[in-house]
Amino acid sequence: MKRNFNIKVVFIALIMSVVSTSCEDWLFLEPDDGIIVEDFWQSEKDLKSATMGIYASMLGNNVSGGYSVPELMLLWGEIRADMITYYNTLVNDYMMIYQGDLRSDNGFAKWNSIYRTINYCNQVLENAANVEAIDGALSVDKMNQYRAEALTIRAMMYLLLNKTYREVPLVTTATTSDDQVVKAVKVQNQSELWDQIEADLKEAEKYAVTTYGTTDAEDKGRVTIYTIWSIMADFYLWRDQAGDAQLAEQACENIISSNKFSLVIADDNWLYNLYHKGNSIEGIFELQFDQDILNPFYSLFNETQAYRANPDVMEAFFPIDELLPSVDSADVRADRGSYRSSRSYSLWKYIGLSKNIEKASSQATSNFIVYRYADILLMKAEALALQINGSDATADALRADEANSLITRIRSRARASEQTYQGAPSSRDGLLNYILEERAREFAFEGKRWFDLLRFAKRDNYAKKSLLKDMLIMSAPATRLLSIQAKMEDENYHYMPIPQDDIDAAYPLLIQNPFYVTE
């Protein structure tokens, strides 16, 4: 992080430079000429501009360097798992992880952009009430709607940090210098993080809107009640304490019963409608890219060619069905869907307009989908499976039947191969294994795989730690396999090291993950 840099000035500059150039009407607010920090936070227009600045901060205008929020969402969720591997361009930080040599100075360990967004959320939360007191036309309800957006994004960022690092600094007050964002705060244990995430989501739930009443882009690009319920389901499945499975199930059911979402039809336009055009009937929350701010993944996966799909893993998850009449009747998520074998297993989900047509660089406007309806269906199936405990055979059978029905909806839409069909499992473990494999197919390269593996592995006091070791057989270099598998025995290795630069600057407040402490 840059030292002695005024974050409030950056905050206003970001809003002026990013928000005013976006082509989305809902993100367009023309700031007054000559605006200065002292004149800000005076009206609803200022509060809305600041709230829009939170979304803009995630898209890639990262003054402190490193990766943007969507890049971290995707890469943190994939680079330690099995579905992608390196290709033409050598990314040294990735190769260190690939070889099991993750260290605290690795570029992927940097959390700068996440805390930058958290600080913008804190700015809104600290100043919203003052704006409402000054601007008589701003109602308390409307002010709380803006607060709900900031609370939700803050909760989302802390959940991402918790999944990645486990224990991190918890910053809930705005800072005026990015030197202060994490450097004056101790690392909090994850139970404290969980309490804050849950409190933020519950408070936001009281005030969030169901629709902004304008465009699909605004309803899916800004926080709605459906975004909050999606994060709640994700959070409760991740925390996995007593009663959390029921809470996750209810959050999913809230979305399902709204009848506002459905699965995009798996026809020839599936790839275009869901991933390129975006804001489809399936999307719940998507980070909005456009011609002004292009999606970074087209360049990363096509022009830079740093990563590709792991061919061995693709063959395992998407087996070729010799009985199919044609390749076009295969799983829509397989070859020419999520990846393309004829282009050296490139990540086609971010490159293609359709099965056969590649985007031009100027068409790299695809949104980054954070939550979509398929995720809700599979999270509900997971929540149901977790409640199968043998105490009530009738209730267990009903839960198993419903979970299998939800899995079948996903598989039917995708035309999944019969070779990946696992029957209709009725046991808790059988269903969870089925769901984990189906999530790998459904969310290939969407930043979920590592977190899915870790969530399933750590359940029941790491009863399935073997999931992580088995995953390495398909992905780790043969010469390093045993070494990395041995490291996986230490639960601390499942999480990233705290960035060394921040530890050095905040000594002795920030404590390193014990696995990465050097002698």
Each residue of 443-497: pLDDT tens digit?
999 999 999 999 999 999 999 989 999 999 999 999 999 999 999 999 999 999 9
Q: Residue 55: which residues within 8 A CB-CB, separation 6 or more?
A: 27, 153, 221, 222, 287, 288
Query: How many whole angstroms separate alpha carbon 417 and alpha carbon 434?
Result: 14
Residue 147 · residue 179 · CB < 8 Å: no
Position 175 scores a pLDDT of 84
| pLDDT at residue 18, rounded to an integer | 44
Integer angstrom CA distances of residue 7 from 10, 110, 161, 243, 497: 5, 18, 21, 40, 26
Q: What pLDDT is stored for residue 305 in this prediction?
A: 84
- Determine the 3-state secondary structure of 260 from DSSP: coil
What does the pLDDT look like over 199-242, one tens digit per residue?
999 999 999 999 999 999 999 999 999 999 999 999 999 999 99
Q: Which letter does DSSP use for residue 184 in this model? A: T
**Are 178 and 1 spatial neighbours (Cβ–Cβ below 8 Å)?**
yes
User: pLDDT value at position 180?
Assistant: 59
Residue 328, amino acid: D
Q: 3-class SS at 212?
A: coil
Q: Cβ–Cβ contacts within 10 Å for residue 207, how many?
A: 19
Predicted confidence at residue 10, as pLDDT, reads: 40
Task: Output 483-491 pairs: Cβ under 8 A, ≥24 positions apart.
Answer: 483/100, 484/99, 484/100, 487/100, 487/515, 489/465, 490/515, 491/458, 491/462
Instruction: Supply the pLDDT for residue 64.
Output: 55
Q: Does domain 7-266+496-516 have CATH number 3.20.20.140?
A: no
- Residue 186 has which token pair? 């101790």
**Percent helix, strand and coil across the chain, each rounded to 5?**
55, 5, 40
Q: Which two tokens stand for residue 338?
A: 């999520």
pLDDT at residue 24 in the model: 56
C-alpha torsion 129→133→138→139, nearest 10: 70
- What's the pLDDT score for residue 17? 45
Query: Which residue ranges in the chain fall short of pLDDT 70?
Result: 1-38, 61-65, 177-181, 323, 326-329, 519
- Residue 477 CA: distances (Å) to CA of 16, 125, 370, 502: 47, 47, 30, 31
Closest to 275 measured CA to CA, from 216, 210, 327, 352: 352
Q: HSE (CB half, 13 Å, CA atoms) of 69?
A: 29
pLDDT number for residue 184:
72
Find the angle CA(215)-CA(230)-CA(115) to the nearest 5 degrees.
Answer: 90
Kindly list the distances between the CA atom of residue 382 and the CA atoms of 173, 249, 358, 399, 439, in Å, as whole numbers in the listed order. 35, 8, 35, 10, 10
Q: How many helices (H) and strands (E) does the chain have?
A: 21, 4
